């Protein structure tokens, strides 16, 4: 007798696809369920990512849950309506399918009519994936071409900066006009005038923050925000486009050599003369030598400010003794204070050498003293248990909101079927409800994933000892660059108490860091208290683990 095929259905639709092409999650699910029913396949799970783009795995909690369930052998096959529901990029699609195959799980697409259990199916997947990515890239290129043409004709693309707002001039909202917001424009003019008068980026940010001003997104001003305003030619009546290519993947590394600069249709906020003066100063300061701090700062960005929680960065003071000798003292100081000024936070400086010494000693003590490590292990397990009830309560609240929204949808459908509600009003309300429902369903998926991690078996003392011990052994024998890399990979954050002393060191281990950086188990001195000569294979980490010491 043939064994019943256990199938997991996966469906996804982005908000744009749903609005523009009318793609429906329910239609995908109904089609896949019916096909499984005809072929006597058992649907053991449905995984649905609603209103989420397929350009990456990040944020797709149902896909993440599906991949974990595949590792737990909960089904034999993953079934999708179209292959591009799984991933938009060919490399991501192949990676996902490879992960499924390693767990003996087949991948099948209904529309393309292939499955990966055959050689031809694998070949078809690769070809269709390449074609799908070509289609996506063609659409992206066409959109970029349109944006470039708009820029060449003096029209703005995307969000407008401080001082402006975009106003729709047609019913469909495709044509817009840029107008000046007088209050914000006065602020932009003040920023340019201050810089032209010789004030630095931090001094300007500090002044604006003290006066209670906010950026376009409602945040306090930083040196980066001031710099971006001073470098934006839109304020002098020009349109700049294509500074960076593929910003989502490459960020500032994708600097383009084909920048478009054209006269805009929008009004200028500052004069050409003031713009040129500021740009001259910007150029002069850009070629000035940057400050260079002597010494090796291990914990930059890891220590958190005890006042505002921002990352602390390298700083120093230089004084002279009575005999004229230069005395240099090195610290870690609040990054927000250094960037945004005293209205936002204070320096809260801690001595560099003292902080680094305490952190390294804290890690070593955890390895060498069993009582400390046992307490740490107990704390890890208690924390995980303590998280379960709040997560369950939140999950219950989310589920209640989902049920309420589903009930509302049914009521509106009943009213529509009874001709008691206008069609356009029904469509508008249904869209609103679907958006709210997508948000709640995504939140439910995320909570279910978090609960799954926290409900795993308790963490063992041997595992914690192995991880922290291998980490310490690598730190003790590595040169500075590797030591700093290891710390930034493993240390999640270092907190300070109210007296600016190291309070806790939070270590975050996961399968990737454990596999690639802590896989070789170093042996310890057998005479040391609590030492563990690890011979053979060290305990393997199968979940994300946070340890506070």
The catalytic residues are 14
Q: Are residues 93 and 83 in contact, defined by beta-carbon separation less than 8 angstroms?
A: yes
How many C-beta neighbours within 10 Å does residue 59 have? Answer: 13
Region of 525 (left: φ > 0; alpha: ψ -120 to 50; beta: rest) is beta
H or E segment at 493?
strand 491-496
Q: Are residues 264 and 237 in contact, defined by beta-carbon separation less than 8 angstroms?
A: yes
Dihedral sign from CA coordinates of 304, 310, 315, 321 = negative
Q: Are residues 79 and 38 in contact, defined by beta-carbon separation less than 8 angstroms?
A: no
Nearest to 349 by CA among 360, 339, 338: 338
HEC string of 262-302?
EECCCCCCCCHHHHHHHHHHHHHHHCCCCCCCCCCCCCCCC
E strands in 144-257 = 164-168, 176-180, 238-241
Q: Could you give the C-alpha distances from 478 to 125, 163, 266, 475, in angstroms and in order?
A: 45, 51, 57, 5
Q: Phi and psi for 68 in degrees, rounded to 5? A: -70, -40
């Amino acid at each position: 007798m043939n064994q019943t095929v256990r199938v997991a259905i996966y469906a996804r639709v982005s908000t744009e696809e749903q609005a523009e092409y009318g793609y429906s999650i329910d239609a995908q699910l109904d089609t896949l369920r019916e096909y499984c029913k005809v072929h006597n396949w058992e649907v053991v799970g449905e995984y649905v990512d609603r209103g989420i783009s397929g350009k990456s795995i990040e944020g797709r909690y149902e896909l993440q849950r599906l991949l974990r369930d595949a590792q737990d052998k909960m089904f034999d096959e993953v079934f999708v309506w179209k292959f591009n529901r799984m991933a938009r990029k060919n490399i991501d699609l192949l990676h996902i399918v490879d992960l499924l195959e390693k767990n003996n799980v087949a991948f099948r697409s209904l529309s393309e009519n292939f499955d990966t259990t055959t050689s031809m199916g694998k070949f078809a997947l690769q070809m269709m994936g390449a074609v799908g990515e070509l289609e996506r890239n063609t659409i992206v290129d066409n959109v970029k071409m349109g944006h470039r043409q708009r820029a060449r004709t003096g029209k703005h693309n995307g969000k407008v900066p401080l001082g402006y707002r975009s106003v729709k001039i047609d019913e469909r909202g495709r044509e817009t006009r840029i107008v000046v917001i007088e209050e914000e424009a006065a602020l932009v003019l003040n920023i340019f005038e201050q810089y032209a008068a010789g004030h630095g980026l931090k001094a300007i940010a500090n002044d604006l923050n003290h006066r209670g001003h906010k950026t376009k997104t409602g945040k306090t001003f930083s040196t980066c925000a001031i710099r971006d305003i001073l470098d934006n030619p839109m304020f002098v009546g020009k349109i700049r486009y294509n500074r960076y290519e593929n910003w989502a993947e490459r960020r500032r590394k994708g600097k383009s050599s084909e920048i478009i600069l054209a006269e805009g249709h929008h009004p200028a906020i500052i004069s050409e003369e003031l713009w040129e003066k500021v740009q001259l100063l910007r150029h002069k300061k850009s070629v000035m030598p940057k400050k260079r701090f002597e010494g090796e700062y291990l914990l930059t960005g890891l220590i958190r400010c005890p006042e505002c929680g921002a990352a602390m960065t390298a700083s120093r003071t230089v004084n002279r003794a009575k005999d004229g000798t230069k005395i240099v003292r090195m610290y870690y100081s609040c990054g927000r204070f250094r960037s945004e000024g005293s209205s936002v936070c204070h320096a809260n400086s801690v001595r560099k050498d003292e902080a680094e010494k305490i952190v390294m000693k804290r890690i070593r003590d955890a390895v060498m003293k069993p009582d400390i490590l046992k307490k740490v292990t107990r704390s890890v397990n208690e924390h995980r248990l303590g998280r379960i009830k709040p997560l369950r309560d939140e999950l219950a609240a989310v589920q209640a909101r989902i049920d309420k929204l589903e009930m509302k949808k049914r009521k509106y459908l009943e009213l529509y079927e009874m001709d008691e509600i206008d069609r356009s009003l029904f469509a508008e309300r249904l869209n609103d409800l679907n958006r709210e429902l997508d948000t709640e369903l995504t939140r439910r998926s995320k909570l279910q994933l978090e609960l799954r991690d926290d409900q795993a078996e308790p963490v063992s003392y041997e595992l914690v000892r192995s991880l922290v011990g291998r980490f310490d052994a690598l730190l003790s024998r590595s040169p500075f660059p590797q030591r700093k890399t290891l710390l930034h990979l493993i240390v999640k954050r270092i907190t300070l108490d109210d007296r600016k002393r190291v309070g806790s060191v939070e270590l975050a281990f996961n399968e990737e860091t454990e596999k690639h950086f802590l896989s070789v188990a170093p042996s310890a001195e057998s005479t040391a208290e609590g030492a563990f000569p690890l011979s053979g294979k060290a305990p393997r980490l199968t979940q994300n683990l946070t340890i506070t010491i």
